[in-house]
Chains A and B, each alone.
Chain A
């Protein structure tokens, strides 16, 4: 059980009731569909998405900013089950970074 539980509550990675999931995934045209579909078909809104290729471009990192509600553990377990997802972490993102991004998008 402990291998699978996400233990989100113990991590210093949430603010304003939101949390950022940090995914390492295989980089191919269908991977975003797979991940976003998991959330959309559970009527779970993804508030923010940031995705960039890493390394030689075979993999990507995706940050998903989501509201923390009681379904989050189940969501993380579902994300872990996707064969294209190599790793899922909960991430502390500097509030300044988010603010900068927000500013960029607002301008």
Chain B
């Protein structure tokens, strides 16, 4: 017989799941778990300065590897603090397991100290959640949580463990098997044939790929499909890296900040092959006018995504890798010269131009300079805002899981902790985090964690002392009434970083900013690289929120 406490069961089951790093913060209601964790010689604990940081570190680990990652928080404020990172994981389908402490089971519902209804609050923002009622339950709940997080469309799972569930002793015969991904759903061959016929018949198809392609590790298959049947390809924000940006069939991102030619090509297409995408409003613009002349093939592992926003002519529920593997041999090789020529004309007539990229401190130029100084090994993380959209537009992505960004929830504060997580999970890769002053301030306390862990991250801080994307929307759509988006006080980020014990460089005071940038990027360990940028620099082109994608402001060729 094996005899263990609930807390020991948690830690040993996590070890058996292959978990080697856990981010979190201890508190009254999860101390037994921490006591058991202290005895583990397999798991390294990363102490963050805020539970949201722990949640995003777990996300960074999970996004960079595709494996499930774990974070810990205590009850009450610990749990409420971590919820934003869990909601973020839900919207971007990231397998994070969050284990929270809870007041003893008998005290639940009494407004005990640091009690909140973590279970109730986490229902709408998790794929699934558990309130553990006894230590015994942990023996099936932990593996089940991993199975759910990893199966089908991945997502976060929260396990709320009352303190007596952690201390209670259990006797049992054998350890349960670790939770694993379920087998993929089987798809219908007839649907696949219909899809192949539609593609073979179509004259102007476009492939529209998203995060699902990354999840399924189907990037090279998607590229193979585009190449075999000569299909121009657009990528969602979450799908960047699935097809190299400089691939001849790549039209880059679609939607709100796409290149003009990408959105205009979508206007012309007669068949949209949507793979691992969810027709998000930032990608489609006004849905009724999205790809007005196109039939739709929609392939996704989540059945509820089919027909949710757009009705598909052929819908296939399945693993993208398996589906594309089966689909490829059914496709005719085709050169589609007429269509490719039209797309080529659109590229020439409506090219992607970025303002002022001759100045090294221009945000686009800076983004490209960073790309030039790094190779494809680098993992690129962003926060949320103008810098995020510029990176998505201008950075040459070539590999899946080397681009981590908060897509669905758009959480400012994502970047720094997610970059720490990526660096912990992939220590062989340099990690660069593009951030803005608004975003960085939302989880700036994690600079301490980065220094403590001595992670190899470089923060490129583009500082316009403003909430740049809000500023831009007020400028464009609210009659230039700039309100509450400019900061009055100016933060000295160099001093702040140095105060945390982090090396910091300022490109503005450098005589040779490019050389300083190169020096900063080759620093060992964490480093903050600061550049003041002009608040009036816009992200163009831009589709006004709610408008059709063909209505794009700015970024014209003649500017």
Interface residues of A (CB under 8 A from B): 1-4, 29-30, 33-34, 37, 41, 73-74, 77-78, 80-84
Q: Is the CB of B304 within 8 A of A2?
A: no
Q: Choose one: B120, B191, B308; the contact of A1 (CB below 8 Å).
A: B191
Q: Is the pair B303, A77 in contact by a Cβ cutoff of 8 Å?
A: yes
Residue of A nearest to B153 (CB): A81
Measured in the bound complex, the distance between the Cα atoms of B315 and A1 in whole Å is 6
| Contact A1 B123, CB 8 Å, known A29-B131, A83-B128, A83-B148 | no
Residues on the A chain within 8 Å of B307, using CB: 73-74
Residues of B within 8 A of A81 (CB): 302-304
CB < 8 Å neighbour of B317 from A1, A33, A34: A1
Q: Is B124 an interface residue (CB 8 A)?
A: yes
Which A residues are CB-close (under 8 A) to B128? 82-84
A97–B120 Cα gap in the complex (Å)? Answer: 33
CB of B316 within 8 A of CB of A1, answer: yes
Q: How far is the CA of A83 from the CA of B191 in the complex (A)?
A: 27
Q: Add 8 more A-B contacts to A74-B307, A78-B304 (CB < 8 A).
A: A1-B191, A1-B306, A2-B188, A4-B317, A29-B131, A74-B304, A80-B304, A83-B128
Residues of B that sit less than 8 Å from A by CB = 119-120, 123-124, 128-129, 131, 148, 188, 191, 302-304, 306-308, 314-317
Q: Which residue of B lies closest to A40 (CB)?
A: B124
Tell me, rounded to whole Å, the shortest Cβ–Cβ distance linking A81 to chain B.
Answer: 6
Q: Which 7 A-B pairs have the closest CB atoms?
A: A77-B304, A4-B303, A1-B315, A83-B128, A37-B123, A78-B304, A77-B303
Q: Shortest Cβ distance from A1 into chain B, in angstroms? A: 5
20 contacts between A and B (CB under 8 A): A1-B188, A1-B306, A1-B316, A2-B188, A3-B188, A3-B317, A29-B131, A30-B120, A30-B129, A33-B123, A37-B123, A41-B124, A73-B307, A74-B304, A74-B307, A74-B308, A81-B302, A81-B303, A83-B128, A83-B148
- For the complex, what is the distance from the CA of A7 to the CA of B220, rounded to whole Å? 36
Question: Is there contact, CB below 8 Å, between B131 and A30?
Answer: yes
A84–B119 alpha-carbon span in the complex (Å): 14
Min distance, Cβ B198 to any Cβ of chain A, angstroms: 14
Q: List residues of chain B with CB within 8 A of the CB of A83.
A: 128, 148
CA distance A69 to B481 in the complex (A): 41
Identify the closest chain A residue to B303 (Cβ).
A4
Please name all residues of chain B whose beta carbon is closer than 8 Å to the beta carbon of A1 when the two chains form the complex: 188, 191, 306, 314-317
In whole angstroms, how far apart are the Cα atoms of A82 and B308 in the complex?
17
| Residues in chain B near residue A77, CB distance under 8 A | 303-304
A86 vs B422: C-alpha distance in the bound complex, in angstroms?
37
Chain A residues with Cβ below 8 Å from B315 are: 1
